[in-house]
Amino acid sequence: MRGDVSEIKGLKGEHLRVRYDPHQPFVIDGETMRAPHGRISALIGPNGSGKSTLLKALARQLPCELGNIVLDGRDIASYPSFELARKLGILFQERRAPADLTVEELLRHGRYPHRRLFESFQPEDDAAVESALRMAGIENLRHALLGQLSGGQKQLAWIAMAVAQSPHYLLLDEPTTFLDIAHQFDVMDLLVRLNRELGMTVVLVVHDLNLAARYADYIFALSAGKLVAAGAPEKVLNEDLLRSVFEVEARIVRDDVRGAPFCVPVKRAKAAKEPAQARSLEGETFSARGERLIRFSARTSSAG
């Protein structure tokens, strides 16, 4: 498949080891993952499994002690920061904005990496802001102050800011957490539109497994800094995984709206004698067309 576009394009982390403090164990421990190009991928896992850390590392927002990240065939470390920001946007959970900023002003900040020091706002900057407002369906909120918005509207405004940045890759850390169901739909539908209409590769960390199953093309499951499963939702989401990774007994059914797997938690599973990640998991996942999506290995010992 040499020379195939899908081999050059894409976001791939190889043998990543990340930690916040040199005296602490690694939060991400030697993992390799490749976010399928032009698709929506979801990172799932229990609290503290390293989902957000992996996401930030992939966006060069955290230094990796070991391993390298390849973005469109180039080592991510070699990108000047503006060039990286034009290619890849990431939306954090923790952020703040002055309450007196209007939605439009927030979106205009998204054009920062496209402008030089004293360069004024160009027509293409305006066009990008307009199209992001339209995409997110918040044109009517253009002049609203951020302090007046509901949590869901605020989230849409922030995603729209990242869209105005016009990246090819959009990474999001728990974009639906704390939102009501209607706004969860708004956010996920927006991500699908970005993916289908603009061809953005979307990677998101999400807690709601059913949301992940319904919207994501691929799911990566993390447990204690290890990638323990990866692939299409129907392959990854099964009762074993829920028991070993999430420590719940659950039944997987098919939702009869989209046919996606739907997990019905039953009760908390008894803590496994051996931690889930101690099982040796090694293998590769293939897409329906047979291309190799990910190769993962987990030869871990339990934490000690």
The residue within the footprint of another protein, chosen from 5, 25, 68, 109 (CB under 8 A), is 109
Least separation in angstroms between CB 163 and another protein? 13
Q: Quick check: 276 and 245 in contact, CB under 8 A?
A: yes
Query: What is the distance between the alpha carbons of residues 19 and 253, in angstroms, rounded to a whole number?
Result: 37
Q: Is 78 in the site for another protein (CB under 8 A)?
A: no
Residue 298 burial (10 A CB sphere; 0-12, 13-18, 19+): buried
Note whether 205 binds another protein by CB under 8 A.
no
Contact between 118 and another protein per CB under 8 A: yes
Structure tokens at 33: 């993952």
Residue 81 CB, shortest distance to another protein, in Å, is 5
Q: Which of 8, 63, 60, 30 is nearest to 171 (CA)?
A: 60
Rounded (10°) angle between helices 181-198 and 123-136: 130
Q: Which is nearer to another protein, 71 or 224 (CB)?
A: 71
Among candidates 99, 84, 103, which has minimal Cα distance to 165?
84
Is the distance from CB of 167 to CB of 85 less than 8 angstroms?
yes
Stretch that binds another protein, among 33-41, 95-103, 241-249, 286-294 (CB under 8 A): 95-103
Q: Is residue 143 part of the contact set for another protein (CB under 8 A)?
A: yes
Query: Which of 84, 141, 211, 236 contacts another protein by CB under 8 A?
Result: 84
Per DSSP (E only), the strands in 102-160 are none
Each residue 147-186 as x (binds another protein by CB under 8 A) or -, in order, gives: x--------------x--x---------------------
Q: How far apart are CA 39 and CA 37, in angstroms?
A: 6
Q: Which is nearer to another protein, 109 or 196 (CB)?
A: 109
Chain residues 241-280 in contact with another protein, contact rule CB under 8 A: none
Give contact residues for another protein (rule: CB under 8 A). 59, 61, 81-86, 89-92, 94-102, 104-106, 108-110, 112-113, 115, 117-118, 120-121, 143, 147, 162, 165
